[in-house]
Amino acid sequence: MPLNTKHQAAAQRKVLNHPPQERRTAFQIRGIADRVIACSLIGFTLPLFCLVAVLIKCDSPGPVLESRSCIGLGGRRFRALKLWFVLRYYGREGIARLVRDQIMWAQELARQVDEDDRLERMAPTPFSVVCFRRKGSNEENQALLERVNESGEVFLSHTVLNGIYCLRLAIGNMATTRDHVQRAWELLRAAV
């Protein structure tokens, strides 16, 4: 949707008055995606719409700004641009290595959960997410989750499988190392 046809016509005249080599640098703000890109280039963020998940809870006394709340209505091309940046930075082999390592660390953690008599794994681990729980009640598992997350070093999430409260450890950040996963395991064992 055009912002204003009068301004759009003026911008078009301004672009056409430039020599061809300068036309590439002049741009015209046409829609909401262009506004988001233009504002991000100069350092502004526009709260265009708010994404609020029902499961996200925050005990902070003041307002919390989430970066996900300040995004534009990204279409297929805008989402593809983010993927393109990741592919350009890491390359195909780099991304494959990262994914392979993260799956290997998750399977190692799953073996450690299986070896611990106090814990039980609740789902297979074909990817980099480990679903497990402490042998006990749902309330004990909720308390365990809160104790581990209170440290601030790691963040575990939860899910409910067949009415049973389970903890989830997901390895997905590009900067995560094996040491981070082992530290999460140490915190978890200490909290059980």
Nearest alpha-carbon partner for 165 in 127, 129, 131, 117: 131
> What pLDDT was estimated at residue 3?
46
Residue ranges per structural domain of the chain: 9-74, 91-191
Domain 91-191 top-level CATH class: alpha beta
Region 152-162: mean pLDDT is 93
- The predicted-structure confidence for 32-80, as pLDDT tens digits, reads as follows 444 444 444 444 443 433 333 434 455 556 655 555 555 555 677 777 8
Say if CB 166 and CB 159 are below 8 A apart: yes
pLDDT in tens, 76-121: 777 788 888 988 999 999 999 999 999 999 999 999 999 999 999 9
Total residues found in the chain within this entry? 192
Average pLDDT, the chain: 76
